[in-house]
Structure formats: C-alpha cells, structure tokens
Structure 1
Amino acid sequence: MIEWLQYLPEQKPKYMAIKKMIISLIDKGQLSSGDQLPPERQLAKLLSVNRSTVTRASDELVADGVIERRVGSGTFVSQQERPQAKRVNWHTYLISQRQSQSQNERRQLQQLIRRKPEKLIDVYSSDLPLALVPQFQFPALTWQDFITAQALETPRGYQPLITAINQLDQHNKRLFFTEEQLLMTAGVQQSLFLILQGLLTPGDAVAIESPSFFHDSTLFEATGVRVYEASVDADGISLTALEALIIKHRVKLVILNPDYQNPTGHVMSLQKRKAVVHLCQMHQIPIVEDDVFGWLGFDTTRPIPTLKQLDPDNVIYISSLSKIMGASSRIGWVAATPQVIEQLTRVQHEMDLVPSIMAQVMVTLAMGDPQFQTQLDQLKGTLQERAQATYKMLERVLPDWHVYLPAGGYYIWVTHPNHKLRLKTFIDHQLAVAPGSLFGLKTDALRINFARLNAIDLVALEQRLVAIIKATE
C-alpha cells in the first residue's frame, strides 16, 4: 500500500506537486499500467488538501494521457505506453492557470456574441454601434504620405495629434497641458500598463474602486502588482475604506474613474474629489484618473473639475478616443508631469509599444474635420436620449430594481440586493449583458450599454427582460 503523503513533494502550487508525485510513482514502477488510483475525495484526505486541488491535478493528468477516467469504475493509470521523447506538454501552457468566475463569464458572453444568433441582443459590448460612430471624409492618402508623416513624430507621438488633443481637451474639459506633459498611447489599457510597468515594481500595491472595470484585470497580474478594492457609492469611493487600504497594504497608487464610472455611471462629487486628493497628498500617493468618457458628458454647462485640475502634479490623467471613434481607433493619451512622461516614454519605446503612425495620422485628420465638434455634440445628444428612454423602460419592467440614470457615457447600472439571476438564463435567452460579478460584486447587478439600443432594439430588450423575469419566477 502506498503511503501517499510521504511521496508528495514540497512544491507549490499543490496541484503541480500531486501531478509530479503520480508521474514519479509511475516512472519508479510503484504504479503500473491499469492500477486504480484512490477516489479524489479519499486522495485529498490522504494528502491533506482540498478535493478541488486533486481534481485539477487529475484533469491535467487525464489531458496528458497519464491517467484515464472510466465511468462508473474510477481513475486508473493509463494502459497506453507513455512517450519517452521529451516533448513539450502544450496543455500546461494553453490551460489557464487561474480561471476566475468573471473570466469564465466573459468567455461565455464573448462566445455568445461570436455565434451571432439571429435574435441576439448585445448590451454587453463596450463600444458604440457603427451607426453612432461619427463619419468623416478623408483625403486620398498614399503610403508615402504616412512615411512623410513620420518626420513629424516626436518620442511622445505625432506632433499634430498631440496639438489636436490638447486643443480639444481645453474645449471639452477645460484641461490645459503643455506638449511635454502629453504622451500618445494605443488606448487606456496601454496607458495603465505603462504606468504600472514604469512607476511600480512587482509586489507593490494599488487601490481600485469596487465595482470596477479593472476588477480581475490581467494588467495587474502581468505587471506583478497586488490589487485591493474599496467600495464605491453614489458620490464616489469610500474614503474610510480607501484610507484603510492605504495604511494596511502600503498602497503605492490609486486608480479612479470619477466621471461616468464604469460600470455604475456615477459621478464623483466635488467634495469627494477634494477629499480624495487631500487624502492621497497626505500619504504622498499618486492618483491615476481614468477619464475615458470625459468628452461624453451630457451637461457641460457646469462641469465638475477633474482630479487633474484639482492636483496637477500628483494626478496622472489617462483618456482615449475609442469611446467616440470606435475601439479600432486605438489612440489614447497620458497627461502627467514632464518627468513622469519622460519615464513612461522610455518604457513605451523599450517595449516597442509606440502607436501606429497610420492610426495617429487618421485620427488627426478626423479631429481636424470642421464637423468633428458638431458630430461629437450630436453623439452626446443621441446618447442622452437613449439613456433616458432605456431608464424609463427599465423602471417600468424592473420595478423592484434600482436603476441609475447616468449623466454621461453609455452605461446604465441596475442593482437588486436579493434577486438571483444566473448568467446562463440571459445567455439562454440570447441576451448579452454584463453581470455585476464581472466588476467584483456579489449582489445582483447588471450593466447595460444603452448606446447600442435604438427604438426597435429597446422594444426587443423590454420583451426579452419580461420573458427572463417570467422564467425565473
């Protein structure tokens, strides 16, 4: 009889130790072809580990052909001869080492959208429908035109684009930067990656909001930083929760989305903004202000100052054109002190992450179109109409839910403290919608992209929601 525990190597993660142990026992002849292994529950008890750990090890050994499961009989050492050649086991590379609930749910939603069923309603995707993307007329361009444009590139980006973004930020957000304070990137995700990679070291801690678009983001894992979440209410992040994280975990960076927060749509109050800035100043911690929806506020007559305006030196401002021109525009920017921009520029060039000159030239031409601001204003008007129409429909169809009407962006957030709706129910009804679990919430919540709902789609969504509610009663 095998004394299983004594053969278990001191290795982490434990499932890898179990794999190594079983393979070693086979190689040494202590387990032979056709031998039955203990049931997973029993083996977990013998090894003092969770059953899920044994299950994961078994799954990979089955995939590798080392063991096999026989329905109704158990698990046995494979009777097939194991190859002696030292071949790469691609399974260990391709299988996710950590598949969280939110990652699984995202995959299910993406699979549904890729299938494109005839009756699909997609309010999950985070981009504009093609019908709302502004239309621009471009001059005929040759390949030589793009090569010539490279002469106007600086280390921080295409000079005409830097100037155009600076001018439109001044008009739409009352933000004033020198050109040395701006760096062009391939979007907000890349901007944040450069910040994490360029300013932090592996093991450093960052604080984000909860719920947040950045919950479970692979950016943090890729850069080796630890992530902690502080709750958000209608007027912004909880100061008590944030300060507790700062003190307990020695937070080095705070990432906030104060305007039309993704997913809630909330706008942080001026009082809360000043308090957050003061708190981070006290602890000498920089803030990253994600303002991806900054140009899509419905009421711009009395804008609340950005965090960057309240604290120009300590706030790193990031934004993007993807929410206006579509995800394929792939142009974003970072605004920070010249010293920070210099560091991020160095990282960007070292990692060959400079945005395409073609994308920069095309976006510059679009922003230089005389109708750009007019089309932007028209887009905001359409979004406001769709937000109000969607809000009224949801209030009518979901009377027990709390529906938040945003003042910008294109997400509506609905919550319920007790209602239990499974993502599978939505998928079965061919409705792609973002559940709160994607953003780190345990209570039921839904994020709905109202920008994708014209009048016909809105009626279809109402009918689909009614059917889902009836199916769950």
Structure 2
Amino acid sequence: MTLGYPEPKGSFDLREMISIYLKAKGIIASPSSIMVVSGGIQALQFISLGLLQRGSAIFHEIPSYLQSLHVFQSAGMNLFGIRMDHDGIVTEGIGKLKRQHNGALLYTIPNFHNPTGILMKETRRKALLAACINERLPVIEDDVYGDLWFDEKPPAPLKAKDDQGLVLYIGSMSKTLGPGLRIGWIAGPEPVINRLADIKMQTDYGSSALSQYAAAECLSSGFYSQYIEDIRTALKNRRDFTIGLLNRYFKGIATWDTPAGGFYIWLKLKKTLSMQKLFKLALREKILLNPGNIYDRNGHSHLRLSYSYASFPQLEKGLARLADIIQCMD
C-alpha cells in the first residue's frame, strides 16, 4: 500500500475484491467497470454532476430518501414521485411519466427501502426492469441495505438482470462496517464509470487510501462475511424487540409492517395530528423524530423509526413516552 494519490477509479485491489463480492450477488462487473466512492451520497453527487443536465427529470419512489437528501435538487434537477405498494415501486404508468417529463433516470432502493423498509418482490423487479428497458430509462439501484437481511436473502439485484447497460449499481460499507470508513462503489458500463472517475478526480483526488486498504482486507480475509452475519443477528434482535414495544404501546394508535431486513419501520398513525407539534413535544422529551413529510410532502401521518442504534432501554423509554404524547394530543 502507498499513500500517494490513488487511481481515478480507486484501488485496483479493492475493485477486484468488490468484483468478486458482486459476482456472489449475480452481478458481473469487472474491476474496470467499478469505481470506489466515499459512500452512497457521493455516488449520487457524481451522477448528478457528470451524467445529467440541469433541469433533468428524476423519477423516484414516494416516499423516498431522495426527498430528504436534496442532492439532485441542489444540482437543479426536477423530482417526480412514483407511488409504492407492499411489493415495491408501482411500474404501471412509468412509460407515460417518462414521455410526459422526458425522464432522465429512475432512482430506486429495492432492498429494505428507506424510509418504508419495503423489500421489492422478484416479480416487481422484473416488471420494473422491463418497463425501464422498454423506455430506455436508466436506473440508479441503491443497494446499501442489501446485505442486512434477516431470514432470507433478497431477490437478485436489478443489475444482475441488466443486459442493456441501463443500471448503475450503488453499494456501500457505511451501513455495515460503519459510516466512518466512507467506502462505497458504483458499478456500471465502463464508459460511464470512466466519465464518473474523471469527475471524481476533479473533485477530491480519490477516496482515502487507508480506508480502501482496510476495506480490501476485510473483503479478502473473509472478515466482512462473518461480520455481516453478526450484524444481521444483532439487527434482527433489535427489530424483534422494537416490534414487541410497538405491540405493547402503539397497538391502538398506529399500524406498521415488520421489515425483513434493514434499519427502519414505517409507522402510520391512526389519527390525524400536527407533525410539527408532535416533533416539538417529542423534542422537549429528548426524542428526535423523523416525520414522514421529510420523505413525502404528503406523509403527515407517518414516522420513520430506526431500531439500529439506540440501546434497548432507550428504545423502550422513548417509544413509551412517544405513545403517551400521541395519545394526549388533540
């Protein structure tokens, strides 16, 4: 390992390890068609800077993580939401929407969606890819939660079925090994990756050489695979504990689905109330909420709950107090 400037696409050793890792998911991507980035958000920034024109139309699930990020808005893009159901993004109407707005690309989180926790079903993935191929609509597949399944592996990524070069696949270790590592990647057609690598070198001269070396060692040694198994077990226990708390404190005031992986539970309150008022009342009790209107301007009856970080006593204390606050509100 050297501490000079890395290659534009990132350390070859790391890209080689990522290529092997992706092959286990059904994705065939050579090291030359992979670029290392400093997390998933940077990947989106480079795509907006390097591949899109100002005013481009971006399609995304509604609710969506993009609504809270403002990456594309700050680059002058226009966002258009497509509704979801329990199987994932609804594909009917994508063609009409693309023609109406001259859509530039579609952004999706198929695995354990942020904020809803939805896992896109296999049939829906096939329908989505078919619709995008038919319309020649490029796709950003954000799979940063894909390794965090509990009982059963998710269906194969969209990229695994992509024989048209339409899908840009984003992965990251930020949600698994830890956000401080700042290592992610984009896999896609080599000419596109070359263009993004040029943008990256103009922006930050490459991701941390030390972080890339550590990530390559984690993948090549087998540590990452074992660590992920441990993380899945811990997260599943946290999910089960949180679902138990919801059954105890929220059964009469909200509904929810049990996620099959990831970090989030999408809570729907049964009564209409002011999210702004709820946010302020909760904050007084040192409870920081993620209200649904962060992810969907019409999401006034939802809260995104995360069971990934707080201790069990903190989760119980916070959710019990939050339930009391909601029940006392007019």
The reply to whether TM is greater than 0.5 is yes
- Superposition deviation, residue 164 in structure 1: 2.1
C-alpha spacing 1:428/1:471, structure 2 compared with 1 (3 Å): farther
Alignment counterpart, residue 167 of structure 1, candidates 9, 20, 24: 20
Cross-structure match for 2:233: 381
Alignment counterpart, residue 7 of structure 2, candidates 151, 154, 159: 154
Cross-structure match for 1:437: 293
- Superposition deviation, residue 443 in structure 1: 2.9
Cross-structure match for 2:159: 308
In structure 1, C-alpha distance between the alignment counterparts of 2:223 and 2:197, rounded to whole Å: 32
- Superposition deviation, residue 316 in structure 1: 0.7
- Superposition deviation, residue 167 in structure 1: 2.5
Render the CA deviation track for 1:276-316: whole Å, top value 9, x for unaligned: 11111111111110001011111345x31211112142111
Matched, 1:412 2:265: yes
Superposition map of 1:34-183 within 5 A: 146-147=2-3, 150=4, 153-171=6-24, 173-183=25-35
1:183 alignment partner, SS class: strand
Does the 8 A contact of 1:386 with 1:453 survive in 2? Answer: no
In structure 1, C-alpha distance between the alignment counterparts of 2:118 and 2:38, rounded to whole Å: 26
Render the CA deviation track for 1:198-250: whole Å, top value 9, x for unaligned: 11111111111110111053311332211111111211112235334212111
Alignment counterpart, residue 191 of structure 2, candidates 312, 328, 339: 339
2:55 alignment partner, SS class: coil
1:467 alignment partner, SS class: helix
Q: Which has the higher contact order (CA 8 A, sep 6+)?
A: 2
In structure 1, C-alpha distance between the alignment counterparts of 2:285 and 2:46, rounded to whole Å: 40
Matched, 1:452 2:309: yes
In structure 1, C-alpha distance between the alignment counterparts of 2:181 and 2:188, rounded to whole Å: 22
Matched, 1:280 2:132: yes
C-alpha spacing 1:411/1:442, structure 2 compared with 1 (3 Å): closer
C-alpha spacing 1:372/1:271, structure 2 compared with 1 (3 Å): closer
Alignment counterpart, residue 101 of structure 2, candidates 249, 252, 256: 249
Does the 8 A contact of 1:395 with 1:403 survive in 2? Answer: no
Does the 8 A contact of 1:418 with 1:443 survive in 2? Answer: no
In structure 1, C-alpha distance between the alignment counterparts of 2:108 and 2:230, rounded to whole Å: 28
Shifted more, 391-400 versus 267-276: the winner is 391-400
Does the 8 A contact of 1:264 with 1:413 survive in 2? Answer: yes
Render the CA deviation track for 1:431-464: whole Å, top value 9, x for unaligned: 1121101101433111111012433223223432
1:466 alignment partner, SS class: helix
2:59 alignment partner, SS class: strand
In structure 1, C-alpha distance between the alignment counterparts of 2:295 and 2:60, rounded to whole Å: 11
Does the 8 A contact of 2:8 with 2:205 survive in 1? Answer: no
Does the 8 A contact of 2:7 with 2:206 survive in 1? Answer: no
Question: Cα RMSD (Å) of the superposition?
Answer: 2.0
- Superposition deviation, residue 381 in structure 1: 0.9
Render the CA deviation track for 1:111-168: whole Å, top value 9, x for unaligned: xxxxxxxxxxxxxxxxxxxxxxxxxxxxxxxxxx543xx48x4331111211222223
Superposition map of 1:190-269 within 5 A: 190-269=42-121
Aligned residues: 324
Q: Which has the larger radius of gyration?
A: 1
- Superposition deviation, residue 353 in structure 1: 5.2
Matched, 1:291 2:143: yes
Q: Structure 1 regions of 5+ residues with no counterpart?
A: 1-144
C-alpha spacing 1:280/1:329, structure 2 compared with 1 (3 Å): same
C-alpha spacing 1:204/1:371, structure 2 compared with 1 (3 Å): closer
In structure 1, C-alpha distance between the alignment counterparts of 2:38 and 2:131, rounded to whole Å: 31
Cross-structure match for 1:423: 279
Letter in 2 for 1:423: F
2:65 alignment partner, SS class: coil
2:115 alignment partner, SS class: coil
- Superposition deviation, residue 470 in structure 1: 4.0
Matched, 1:466 2:302: no
In structure 1, C-alpha distance between the alignment counterparts of 2:80 and 2:305, rounded to whole Å: 25
Matched, 1:392 2:244: yes
Alignment counterpart, residue 359 of structure 1, candidates 211, 217, 234: 211
Letter in 2 for 1:212: S
2:176 alignment partner, SS class: helix
In structure 2, C-alpha distance between the alignment counterparts of 1:453 and 1:224, rounded to whole Å: 36
1:415 alignment partner, SS class: strand
Render the CA deviation track for 1:240-277: whole Å, top value 9, x for unaligned: 35334212111110001111000000011111111111
Does the 8 A contact of 2:249 with 2:320 survive in 1? Answer: no
